[in-house]
Amino acid sequence: MNKLPLVALISGRGSNLKAIIDAQNPLVEIRAVISNRPQAKGLLYAQQAGISTEIIDHTQFSKRIEFDTTLKTRIDYYQPKLIVLAGFMRILTPEFINHYQGRLLNIHPSLLPAFKGLHTHKRVLESGAKEHGTSVHFVTEDLDAGPIIIQARVPVLPDDNEEKLAARVLQQEHRIYSQAIHWFAQSRLQLQGQNVLLDGKPLNSWRKLI
């Protein structure tokens, strides 16, 4: 059985990375985990699972393109068919994104297109929104604006604070990221222009998992 070769990029605690590893998907081979931060705790999860790890410290590069070029070279060494951003806190250059078009995924803690960018939980609470959630999408040049693959919703409860809301969203992140990766590994998921196809048919971007 040919497994899907995957490389994951992280910057921090690696919660989504751990969920992907723990899923133990028989169709997926995680060939490497690369971090732009030497102290990223997520590297430990990879090392404990016997996965190759690398650190490419972005602070050692004077230009963004230089960092991205080095990162691309190291990713390509592992010959992945899918690259997943799992809490990777860097804005990538168009050259990098285009190189991996159709095989670069990200997860964002909001119901895109709402609340792009940072501090989503705080902004959701301040807005008075009644629901929140998370989205897996293909990465494009526009930040947090790539075609959506799958989303999960959670209610915003009256006694919520940032920590409570974030924890509830994170549970859904772990579930839907693994689902999107599984679809890709089954060769069921693809990007065609700005359209996401599942089994050759347009995918409802507001699909939710209960």
The 10 Å Cβ neighbour count of residue 81 is 16
Distant-in-sequence, close-in-space partners of 79: CB < 8 Å, separation ≥ 6:
5, 31
Helix (H) or strand (E) holding 9: strand 4-10
The 10 Å Cβ neighbour count of residue 82 is 21
Nearest to 177 by CA among 87, 101, 114, 96: 87
Burial call 117-149: b when 16+ CB within 10 Å, e when fewer: eeebbebbbeeeeeebbbbbbbbbeeebebbbb
Q: Burial level of 164, CB count in 10 A (0-12/13-18/19+)?
A: middle
Is 58 an annotated catalytic residue? Answer: no
Name the catalytic one among 58, 99, 108, 137.
108
- Alpha-carbon distance 130 to 156, whole Å? 5
Cα-only R_g, the chain: 17
Nearest to 96 by CA among 128, 119, 73: 73
- Alpha-carbon distance 86 to 131, whole Å? 23
Residues marked active site are found at 108
